[in-house]
Amino acid sequence: MTPFSRRIEILPASQDQMPILANLLQLYIHDFTEFVDLDTERFSYPHLPCYWSEPDRHPFLVKLKGKLAGFVLVKKESGSPPFWDMAEFFILRKYRRQGIGTRVAQEVWGLFPGQWQVRVMSSNTPGNHFWSRAVSGFTGEPVHPACNEKNGASWHVFSFQSKPKP
């Protein structure tokens, strides 16, 4: 258990908190400019309103000791079989490398039992290390992501099962 375990909150975001998520998304995309050439003038996330209008999308704010620490966007994909997708995941830099992100990811996976998928840009080496550790810690097994090409980008895809809590 990390020293922050009891002070981390993963809270469903209400629709009136959409501007908070939109602001955090700006920081999120700023971080991605390290791995991919993106226009940072103004990043828009057109699917953000869908998280309050579609039943298979779930927005969360992450707080540590009552202070905003990040967000998680989860959606269910209608594959065969359907699976949960960690659409977006962000922890503020000042809270990274303390076990907080791992704890948040694992708690979110526990909220939604079933098949899961986490996609990470191949160029995002720190992200790939993080997700590999988080997923293997959750499943108790080593993970071997599949490589996937989509829209000219290379991705690592972590697939695993989350079992219902007894």
State residue 6's pLDDT score: 60
d(CA 112, CA 163): 8
State residue 27's pLDDT score: 80
State residue 34's pLDDT score: 58
- Which is nearest to 59 in space by CA: 94, 111, 96? 111
State residue 98's pLDDT score: 84
Mean pLDDT by 10 residues, the chain (166 residues): 66 96 81 59 79 96 94 92 93 88 94 93 85 94 87 86 80
Looking up residue 110, the CATH number of its domain turns out to be 3.40.630.30
- Specify the number of domains making up the chain: 1
Are 77 and 117 a contacting pair, CB within 8 Å? yes
For helices 125-139 and 100-111, what crossing angle results, to 10°? 50
- Which is nearest to 139 in space by CA: 121, 159, 123, 119? 159
> What residues make up the domain containing 79?
5-162
